[in-house]
Structure formats: structure tokens, C-alpha cells
Amino acid sequence: MAADRRVTLKSRAQIEQMALAGALVAQVLDRLAGEVKPGVTTLALDALAEEMIRSAGAVPSFIGVPGRLAPYRHTLCISVDDEIVHGVPGPRRIRDGQIVSIDAGAIVDGWHGDAARTFIVGEVPDATRRLVAATEQAMYAGIAAAQPGAFLADISGAIEDTARAYGYGVIRAFVGHGIGTEMHEEPQVTNYRTGSRGRRIEPGLCLAIEPMFTLGGHEVRIRNDGWTVITADGSLAAHWENTIAVTADGPRILTSSPASESVAATAGATTGATASATTAAAASAEALPAR
């Protein structure tokens, strides 16, 4: 396929460079996990993330990305409740009972890392907690499917199956993507089956895998700010993303934090699973309440 010509496979050395960017993004999200609480403004979270990235000698990936009205000016996208992705930081304050999806990207020596997590603030209904957990679980299922010799559709199918099991809406207008010296490279990684099996997965392929699920439908609207993507039906949305590199041994998560690795290690000890993506998926699945 013509589009495949733009897919770049990364060398081991290049993957190690991407791992540096990924580690920084993970550090930022780890730090934000402790700061996402009632009363904090989304702009304060953004300032903290920018400070962390710049003081590491890196550059925020999202600043300057062209938009409908103007280039993006922030380090983070912070999407609250029915906002799916691309929420713009501002003076509004986080409140108890909200879900807050934070997407962060950083460039280290020309290489990008990109990751997102949905944080739960205080008490939320079980249905909301389940949505957030299932979206994370779907991300790990998609990552576990990113094996050499498999196809992109295997990633998409693993994610879609997780959503279907819970009856969640799967966002179609925004998808995962290749990543490297550009934040968005080919190929696209849909979170649903398209009817085509897509490109074969091979070592050196680096992807941002990022399911976006809703408690309602898949249709989206864009706010007048030209950025914020919201659910058309007002339903809650969750978003999880990791940057991975496909290696001969399977997927390697480049944006995993030491904290999530220890969770994966614990799960591995229990389940006997070996690949980190698989163990993380197992941990996620175990944490998930019965539907």
C-alpha cells in the first residue's frame, strides 16, 4: 500500500533514544498523578509538565502543532469528563468526582514519546471506574497484540473486543499512530476493525496505541476553541496511551513508569506471564470489577 512507504522502522539505537523520551513522559505523568486533585487548575498542571520537560533539556511535543484556528500553545492536553482528547489547559479547577485524561508528549534529541492516562478524582460511580479501567485494559490488550508477524488489525481487534465486552463506544475520529522523529507518523492504528488486516507488524515499528472509549456512542464534536474533542451525546470518555516499540521479542513499552512496571512484575509473579505488556494487561484485568 502506498501509505506504507511512509512507515519508518527504527534501529535498536533509535529505539533506545525513543525510550529516553518515553521515560520522561512517564515521569511527567507519574508526577501529575499526585497533583490531579480538587482545586488545581489545568493550567497549573500544564505549567508543571512544561517545567519538568524543559528542565530535562527536552521540548514539549504538542506546542506549535497546527490547529483549526491557531497552533497549540500548551504542553498537555487535559480532557475532563465528556471531553475525549485535546482539552486545552486553562483557569478552570479540577473538582471531586471528575475523570481527567492527561496526554503528554516530549521530544528528546529529536525523538518523540507520547502517552496518556485517565485519572479518577475522588469518588465516582462504579460505572465510571469501570470505563477508565477497561480503557486501560484495552490499551494493554492492544499492546500485547503488537507481536512480530501479527497485523495491525490484531491490535485494533484486541482493543475493539475489550470495548464490545463492556458495551462501550469506541471513538473512530481519532486513532493511534506511528511515532518517531515525528509525533504522528504512518501507520494509523484504529481502535476498531476496518475490514483490512493492515500492515504486518515487524521489529522496529514504533506505535502510539491509544484507545478512547465512552459510556455512550462514538460520535464527536469539537468545541469552539478549535481543539477540545467532546462526545456528541455528553457521555463520559476515557483515554489511555503508551508509546511502544516492536522488538523481535515482542512489544516494549517505552512510556511505562517504574510504578507500573512493579505492578506488572507483581502480576507476572501471580499469573506466570512473562511479557510485560501481557502482565500489565493481566493486572488491569484483575483490577477490573465484574461487569
Among 108, 138, 145, 208, interactor with Mg ion by CB under 5 A: 208
Tell me how far, at minimum, the Cβ of 163 lies from Mg ion, in Å. Answer: 18
Among 81, 83, 114, 154, interactor with Mg ion by CB under 5 A: 114
84 near Mg ion (CB under 5 A) = no
The C-alpha cell 513522559 sits at 25
Cα angle for residues 253, 102, 27 (degrees, 5° grid) = 50
Candidates 19-27, 162-170, 206-214, 226-234; binding stretch for Mg ion (CB under 5 A): 206-214
Between residues 77 and 153, which has the closer beta carbon with respect to Mg ion? 77
Tell me how far, at minimum, the Cβ of 116 lies from Mg ion, in Å. Answer: 7
* CA torsion, ordered 251, 252, 254, 255, to nearest 10 deg: 70
Label residue 197 exposed, middle or buried (CB < 10 Å: 0-12, 13-18, 19+): middle
Cell of 165: 465486552
Tell me how far, at minimum, the Cβ of 155 lies from Mg ion, in Å. Answer: 14
Give the strand order in the sheet containing 212-214: 169-170, 212-214, 237-239
Tell me how far, at minimum, the Cβ of 185 lies from Mg ion, in Å. Answer: 11
How far is 223 from 203, CA to CA, in rounded Å? 39
Label residue 35 exposed, middle or buried (CB < 10 Å: 0-12, 13-18, 19+): middle
Between residues 159 and 208, which has the closer beta carbon with respect to Mg ion? 208
Residue 21's nearest CA partner among 64, 53, 47 is 53
Candidates 67-75, 77-85, 110-118, 189-197; binding stretch for Mg ion (CB under 5 A): 110-118
Candidates 24-32, 56-64, 109-117, 190-198; binding stretch for Mg ion (CB under 5 A): 109-117
Candidates 14-22, 42-50, 71-79, 202-210; binding stretch for Mg ion (CB under 5 A): 202-210
Candidates 59-67, 128-136, 207-215, 255-263; binding stretch for Mg ion (CB under 5 A): 207-215
How far is 166 from 238, CA to CA, in rounded Å? 14
How far is 224 from 111, CA to CA, in rounded Å? 32
Between residues 176 and 204, which has the closer beta carbon with respect to Mg ion? 176
Tell me how far, at minimum, the Cβ of 184 lies from Mg ion, in Å. Answer: 7
Cα angle for residues 223, 226, 230 (degrees, 5° grid) = 35
Between residues 24 and 267, which has the closer beta carbon with respect to Mg ion? 24
Tell me how far, at minimum, the Cβ of 225 lies from Mg ion, in Å. Answer: 19
Tell me how far, at minimum, the Cβ of 107 lies from Mg ion, in Å. Answer: 13
Q: Which residues bind Mg ion (CB under 5 A)?
A: 114, 208
